[in-house]
Structures are given as structure tokens and as C-alpha cells.
């Protein structure tokens, strides 16, 4: 027996059993399903009171961030092979901000 023989999905409306357990489901028509929903998640995570900008430096542009020289080389070679044009928005090695990992936020908690 194949799954399609006993599973069906109505694309027009939600089944009444699904509605019963999805009492607060929301749809957002006309919204980019990737970047804008990501930004919505950022603003939602900061609630109450956090007003995140609706766009960031990588808005509406697929963006890859290489952490190693090897990853950077792999991405550049793959993009070239696929004929993609890219724009470098940050170049060079990363550096941790001052104060990073100087004290553990859980050090005293772990001793208890």
C-alpha cells in the first residue's frame, strides 16, 4: 500500500481536525516567505517592546557567510561554476569583540 492511497491533503482549506489543534495559526500573504518571516521572528523574539528594523544589510539577497578560508574558497568556486555574480560585503578574517569569553555567564551557576 502506498501512502498516497490513505493520505490526502486538501489545498483549499484546513481540515476541521487540523483547525481544532491550530487555534492560533496565521498566514501572511504577500510576504517573502524566507527573509521577511525571518525578520518577523527576530522582532517576535524581542517582544514585548523590541522594534527591529524591517531590513538588514543582507535583505532580499541570498547571502553566505564563510567562517574559514576553505569555506570561502569552496563558495567562490561553486558560485563561479554556476555563473553566479557575487558582491563581497565583508572581507578578511574574523575577530572576536573585546570581552568575548573573558568571563563565563554561567561560571558561578555551575559551581552551585
Q: Is 82 found in the same domain as 71?
A: yes
3-state secondary structure of 29: coil
- Residue 112 reports pLDDT greater than 70: no
* Domain assignment present for 47: yes
Full domain range(s) for residue 72: 62-91
For residue range 16-52, list pLDDT tens digits in order: 887 888 778 788 888 877 888 888 888 888 888 888 7
> Which residues have a Cβ under 8 Å from the Cβ of 57 and sit 6 or more positions away?
89
Question: How many domains is the chain partitioned into structurally?
Answer: 2
**pLDDT given for residue 81 in this prediction:** 94
Query: Could you report the per-residue pLDDT of 44-92, keeping only the tens digit for each?
Result: 888 888 887 877 777 767 788 888 889 999 999 999 999 998 888 877 7
Amino acid at each position: 500500500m502506498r501512502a498516497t492511497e490513505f493520505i490526502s491533503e486538501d489545498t483549499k482549506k484546513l481540515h476541521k481536525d487540523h483547525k481544532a489543534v491550530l487555534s492560533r495559526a496565521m498566514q501572511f500573504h504577500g510576504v517573502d516567505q524566507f527573509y521577511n518571516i525571518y525578520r518577523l521572528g527576530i522582532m517576535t523574539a524581542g517582544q514585548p517592546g523590541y522594534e527591529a528594523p524591517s531590513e538588514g544589510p543582507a535583505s532580499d539577497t541570498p547571502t553566505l557567510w564563510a567562517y574559514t578560508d576553505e569555506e570561502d574558497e569552496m563558495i567562490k568556486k561553486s558560485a563561479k561554476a554556476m555563473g553566479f555574480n557575487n558582491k563581497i560585503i565583508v572581507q578578511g578574517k574574523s575577530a572576536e569583540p573585546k570581552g568575548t569569553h573573558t568571563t563565563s555567564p554561567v561560571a558561578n551557576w555551575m559551581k552551585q
